[in-house]
Structure 1
Amino acid sequence: MDGQQYKALPDDLTLWCVYCGHHADHSEFTTEQQIDRAREAASDFGHQLIHHELERMFKGLSRGSRRTGLSFSFTSQPFHPRPLPGIAEEKLVRVRTCSGCHTNYAIFSEHRYCPVCGQLPATSVAFDTLQAEAARLDALEALPSEAKALLREQGVFTRNWVDTVENVVGVVEALASSLFRAAVPNADALLNGKGAIFQRPGPMAELIANAGFSDVRSALGPQTWQRLLETWAARHLFTHNDGIVDEKYLIRVPGSSARIGQRLVLTEDVCRQALDDAKTLCETLIDVMR
């Protein structure tokens, strides 16, 4: 977290792990390296106090006894604290600002929580996930040619494209469900018995329109909506039929050149278009149900 913002927080504030959502007192998030450093500092401080006290009591004092022939004296040696152990942590490069409490914090990976106010809004999660999907495509494309060739032969690129299409549907489903439940007072009653309706774009659009909101299909336009239908159809095919084209797919995608029994072939361009369309759909859902 930003140092100044952290210092300004109340002492009794509960903090959140940005990854798993564990929330507890500040002390629960102290790392082993920080504890070791604090112990070393406390140990040196204790030794320094003892040294100063002994020096105060005995400095310049010497005693002896003629009867026993024994004597003692005290001499002081300079005290030099040892260097404190360093804290070796991976450098954080991705800095975020919470849209709710405006806290600045850095993260290592995918996250769902703000360290101060907890659960992130569904909108933040959705756009973060779409951005991560695009970054994954970019990372594979940026690999050296030899590495790309090896991964392509092993099916990594194809698997990545399939995962992207499947994840796009999950992002929209989670966002649409969250927005609908927040905007519609009787959402639970309207959703009762409708199953995973937010996984089906047509019924989802009808549900939203019937609840009194604008029709997302009209807001998106026919071309974008048709591409989204094709993305959802591809996702259904890979999730439930290993990508093998069936009659249901051809009904949903009448312009497809694939034939029944063939395995659907995805491309990077198709995935990037799906990401763009999903982002547009998310923005439209937010505007419609605002």
Structure 2
Amino acid sequence: MPVNFDIPDRLEISVPVEGDDDGYLDKECPNENCLSQFKILKDDWDRIEQSGQVVCPFCRHEAPPGSWWTTEQIEHAKAMALEQAKHLISTQLNRMFKDIASDFNRSQRSNSFFKMTMDVRETGRPPPVMIPAAAAETMRTRITCGKCGCRYAVIGTAYFCPGCGERDVEAAFSAKIAKIRTIPETIEALRAVLDKDQAADLANTLLEDAIKGGVTQFETMAKYLYSQINNSGRIRQNLFQNLTDGSLEWEKVTGVPYTVYLDQQEIDRLNVYFQRRHVLGHNDGHVDEKYVVKSGDQSYQPEQRIVVKVDAVLEFAALLTKLVSGMRGSVSSMAPPGTEGH
């Protein structure tokens, strides 16, 4: 007897994807050289889907909205599809054996002394429930794009808005400061799960990176603010890595030196951190005579190595925040109404 399987060539299923506790959806960059994961608030994702393109916050790769499933979501969908296929095959096998049994039973003679019947008991499983793909844990750094309002979250530092592709300097600076402020909790967490040596090494890396990355983010932020009020051309490379030179140039275009935003003692402290950044970035943290002269820091001598403490990075973050806040205020007072931040 011929047996036909009524199984479609293509099986399509719909697997729901749930957001985290705060309504953010997991996404992953489809660029194989990146594959970074991030989150977008569901309401904003629904809006972005209509635009036709999504931008990776880390590498700025662009792709259609259907390309941003995470590896975990894809694996979960495969597992759900396999369960659906198993159920479909099981259903078809039960139907086939029932047909065989029915034909066999009809073939038996009713007046026969000896009669056999065949009975098929279904062993198939119930249809699988499409369990939503679980959301990853909440990401700590949340950003709202200053241009389009897209709300997204990352681990680490993001550079572009996934909604509009804008390089959001303001958001990146705020995220960097926020990350520095969480360093004490991060170090405690490391100590809880790692041995002492590993925890100490990672803590030192976090603290040193806070100084190096903080100066870099300030420089980017200062150039951005500077461009809001001066479109005359390029500025000198690394100008805003030097507090003295940066203050002089800033005063030329705003009439306000850094000493209006910070008192001299705060300027001196911030200069120490800027000079430490140079030593950490270019001399592996080893002090030389140039550092002692430029920083005025008498707590170190040449050949010693900079040691960064938690209190120091918190003070550094507070000073940067205060300086940038003052610079923002000067830009706002000079910009025509409605043009601040554009």
TM-score (norm 1): 0.73
2:75 equivalent to 1:28: no
Shift of 1:105: 3.4
With over 3 angstroms needed to count, the CA separation of the structure-2 counterparts of 1:221 and 1:6, relative to structure 1, is same
Please give the alpha-carbon distance, in whole angstroms, between the structure 2 residues aligned to 1:42 and 1:272. 54
With over 3 angstroms needed to count, the CA separation of the structure-2 counterparts of 1:14 and 1:256, relative to structure 1, is same
- Report the counterpart of residue 111 of structure 1 in structure 2: 158
2:175 equivalent to 1:128: yes
With over 3 angstroms needed to count, the CA separation of the structure-2 counterparts of 1:5 and 1:259, relative to structure 1, is closer
- Report the counterpart of residue 218 of structure 2 in structure 1: 172
With over 3 angstroms needed to count, the CA separation of the structure-2 counterparts of 1:150 and 1:40, relative to structure 1, is closer
TM-score (norm 2): 0.63
Alignment identity in percent? 19
- Report the counterpart of residue 11 of structure 1 in structure 2: 50
Three-state SS of the structure 1 residue aligned to 2:182 is: helix
> Following superposition of structure 1 onto structure 2, how do residues 34-183 of structure 1 map, counting pairs within 5 Å?
36=78, 81-84=127-130, 86-94=132-140, 96=142, 98-100=144-146, 101-144=148-191, 149-151=196-198, 155-183=201-229
2:274 equivalent to 1:227: no
Shift of 1:108: 4.4
Shift of 1:115: 2.5
More helix by percentage:
1
Shift of 1:179: 2.0
Q: CA RMSD in A?
A: 4.1
- Which of the numbers 252, 265, 287 marks the counterpart of 2:294? 252
Please give the alpha-carbon distance, in whole angstroms, between the structure 1 residues aligned to 2:325 and 2:273. 17
Tell me if structure 1 keeps the 8 A contact 2:279–2:291. yes
Give the residue type in structure 2 aligned to 1:133: I
Shift of 1:186: 0.9
- Report the counterpart of residue 99 of structure 2 in structure 1: none
Give the residue type in structure 2 aligned to 1:29: W
- Structure 2 residue runs of 5 or longer lacking an equivalent are 1-39, 93-105, 108-121, 333-342
| Alignment size in residue pairs | 273
Three-state SS of the structure 2 residue aligned to 1:166 is: helix
- Structure 1 residue runs of 5 or longer lacking an equivalent are 51-62, 65-76
Please give the alpha-carbon distance, in whole angstroms, between the structure 2 residues aligned to 1:24 and 1:87. 22
Which deviates more from structure 2 when the two are superposed, residues 169-178 or residues 208-217? 208-217
With over 3 angstroms needed to count, the CA separation of the structure-2 counterparts of 1:144 and 1:250, relative to structure 1, is closer
Three-state SS of the structure 1 residue aligned to 2:254 is: coil
Give the residue type in structure 1 aligned to 2:54: L
Please give the alpha-carbon distance, in whole angstroms, between the structure 2 residues aligned to 1:5 and 1:145. 36
Shift of 1:185: 1.2
2:323 equivalent to 1:284: no
2:281 equivalent to 1:239: yes
With over 3 angstroms needed to count, the CA separation of the structure-2 counterparts of 1:253 and 1:27, relative to structure 1, is closer
Greater RCO (CA < 8 Å, at least 6 residues apart): 1
With over 3 angstroms needed to count, the CA separation of the structure-2 counterparts of 1:261 and 1:144, relative to structure 1, is closer
